[in-house]
Amino acid sequence: MTSSAPSPQLSASARLSAAPAAYPAPMYPHKATEAQHREQRIRSFQPRRGRMTKAQASALDRGWERFGLAIDGTPLDLPTLFEGRPVTLEIGFGMGDTTAAMAAADPTAGILAADVHTPGHGNLLQFLERDGSENVRLAAGDAVILLRDMLPDASLAGLRVYFPDPWPKPKHHKRRLIQSSFLELVLPRLAPGALVHCATDWEPYAEQMVQVLEASPELENLHPEGDGSDWLEPAEHPAGTRPGYAPRPDWRPVTKFERTGLAKGHVVHDLLFRRR
């Protein structure tokens, strides 16, 4: 009787790219079960599975076990994971340049960075390795599951959502991340004083963000009369409008996506709210 050879151990980059059973289906919607496809709820992402470069794959293989975690429903111990640092959740970090810059600028703050874009995970790991940053953890999968099942109440010092998919067509507006159902999920996870920071270059989405966030009595707009550049009195807003936008904080770097939008003539809006 002959015994079969043991299966080779897949590298982190191979596991993430192949999306085997060990990784949760919500990270890879094309592998979701029929029941998951029928589930009607907001999702934190539009699936993107671009090709990884060799450098990104290599960074994943070197750094995933140290800095990465799958969004699989397992509750997280944030104080242990981040060695006591206050933790801000960042949903959708793209290629990771902004996340890495903010992590390097403040090593005393922890960043839990969630995304589904595997090349972006590899790219961010390259930046962390370059900068020697130890205060970031990468979460692979749907941030809604992360919030719902894995984070304790009052465990977050902040939430960042920079340039989420605007879903511009009216019939797709229900897919936007920033809406009341998402806020109901987020608010219990935010500690008192936690900062909620959103940014978008899509004007109608910015207006929706303000309406959703200001509708919550648990949140305070830090720039209730702001037009995005300075403080204004209500009477100074056109037609009595009250945008409620904040100036871009110095600590938020201008992103590559943002520069692209500005080149197209888009207006970027930041929103800063605090958990009461």
Give residue-wise pLDDT tens across range 224-266.
888 776 544 545 555 445 578 998 899 999 888 788 888 888 8
Q: What is the pLDDT of residue 91?
A: 97
50-229+239-275: CATH number: 3.40.50.150
Residues across the chain: 276
Please indicate if the annotation marks 115 as binding a ligand. yes
Each residue's pLDDT tens digit, 132-151: 999 999 999 999 999 999 99
Q: Where are the domains positioned within the chain?
A: 50-229+239-275
Cβ-based neighbour number of residue 261 at 10 Å: 17
Rounded distance, CA 259 to CA 268, Å? 10
Q: What is the pLDDT of residue 258?
A: 85
Please indicate if the annotation marks 90 as binding a ligand. yes
- With bands split at pLDDT 50, 70 and 90, how would you rate the model's confidence at 11? confident
One-letter identity of residue 54: K
Rounded distance, CA 102 to CA 236, Å? 34
Please indicate if the annotation marks 39 as binding a ligand. no
Active site residues: 165
What's the sign of the alpha-carbon dihedral 266, 267, 270, 271?
A: negative
Rounded distance, CA 70 to CA 23, Å? 7
Please indicate if the annotation marks 236 as binding a ligand. no
Rounded distance, CA 191 to CA 156, Å? 6
Q: What value does the mean pLDDT take over residues 112-130?
A: 95
Each residue's pLDDT tens digit, 175-229: 999 999 999 999 999 999 999 999 999 989 999 999 999 999 999 999 988 877 6
Beta bridge partners of 140: 70, 115
